[in-house]
Structure 1
Amino acid sequence: MRNKVIIISVILLLLSVIATESCRKCDNEQVYKVADLDFMVTGVQYNANANPKIYYFLIENDSIFFSFYGIILEPVKQLYAACQLPRSFGIINSAYACDPVLVSMKNRITDIQIITDKDYDDTHPKGSNIAEYFDIVVTYEHTNDYYSKYSLQEFLAKTPHVPDQMTLILNTEPKTDTKFNFKLRYFQEGSDLDSLEIDLGKITIIK
C-alpha cells in the first residue's frame, strides 16, 4: 500500500512538471493585429509623478484651452496568433500552472499626422502636419507599462508596437483662438490595414 502511494505521488509530480513546462514552451501569449481604431476627442490632464495618472473630462461649448485638448485612440483588435497548449490528459489541468494570458500587438506604428485646416501659427499654415505639437501617453498592458508619456515625434522614431491605448495631448498654443477641424492620419505596418484618416470634428482651441 505504501509503495502504491509513493508511485501515485511520483506520477502526480511528473504531471505537474509537464503541465508547467507546456506553459513555458508556449509562452502563454496571444498576438493581435489592429483592424481599426476607435477614437474620442476629449479634455485631458496628465499628472507626471511617481505613479503617473491621466484624467479625462468632457469638452463644453466645443472649445478648450490648448493644453487640455486630447485625442484618445484605442485599437480594435483581431486575433492573429495564439499559443495552443496540449490538451490535458490526466488529473492535473495545465491551465492551473500557467500565468495569465499575455496579449501583444503584431503591428508597428510608422507615422501619425495631425493636419490643420487653418493656419495654426506662422510656421504651420493650412494643410500642415502639426504632430510635433503633440505629446503621447501610452499603455502597454502586457508589460504593465501604464501612462508613459513621450513627445509624439520621439515615440514614432522607435517604430513602436501599437499600444493598448494612446492619448495625444496638444502642447503648443495656436497664434490666435481659432475653430479648427483637424484630421488625423494613422499609418502602420500591415497588409490588411496600413492607414486610416479620421475627421476629428470642429473645435475652438484657446491659446
Structure 2
Amino acid sequence: ACAPFRRLHVCDQNLEQIEPIKITNTHNLLVDVCMAAKFEGQSITQDYPKYQRTYGYSPSQICTMLARSFADIGDIIRGKDLFIGNNKRDKLEKQLQKYFNNIYENLEGAAKKHYNGDKENFYQLREDWWYANRHTVWKAITCSAWGNTYFRTTCSDRNGSFSQANKYCRCNDDKPGNDKENIDPPTYFDYVPQYLRWFEEWA
C-alpha cells in the first residue's frame, strides 16, 4: 500500500529492539508500546511548526495527526499494518509474534484456553490487548500535545452527551501530569481500515 510520508517514519524502533525474553506479561509490553507512542507524539509536535508555516494554524490539526499515528501503531500491534518497506515490517511482525507468544504462555486457566486456537499469529490476543490498553497509549502519544489543541466533538460523558476534547487532545479535562483513569481516546481511527485512513490523508 502507498503509505503517507508520516507513516514511513513512525517511531517504532524500540519495539524491534526489545529482547523477547523480557516480555513476560502485558505490562512489560505496554511500557514499550507507550514509549514508542511518546516518541511518535514528540516527533509530530516538534515538526508541526514547520507544517504551520506552510499551511497555516488549525488547533485541531495536530490532534488529527496524532490520531493517525495512534491508529497506525494499533495496526502494527494487531498485525494489520499494510506498509511494505524493506524488511522492517516483517522483522517487527516476527518480534511481536514472539512477544505475544510469551504473554500467552504466562496466561493461566480459562484465559489461556480462550486463546488456544490463536497460537500461530495471536491475532485475537493482540486485538484484545489493544482494546484493553488503547486509552493508555493515547495518553502516551499526546504527552507533548499543546494545551490549546482540541479534537472534534467525539468525547462522551456519563450522561451520554458528546463534548469536545478541549486541551491536549484528551477528553474530560484529562491532561499530562494529572492523568485520569479510564478516559477513552476521542478517536476511533484505529477501527477504521488503514487503507481508508491513508486515502483520506493523501486527499
TM-score by length of 1: 0.33
Question: Is the helix fraction higher in 1 or 2?
Answer: 2
Larger Rg: 1
Question: Is the strand fraction higher in 1 or 2?
Answer: 1
TM-score by length of 2: 0.34
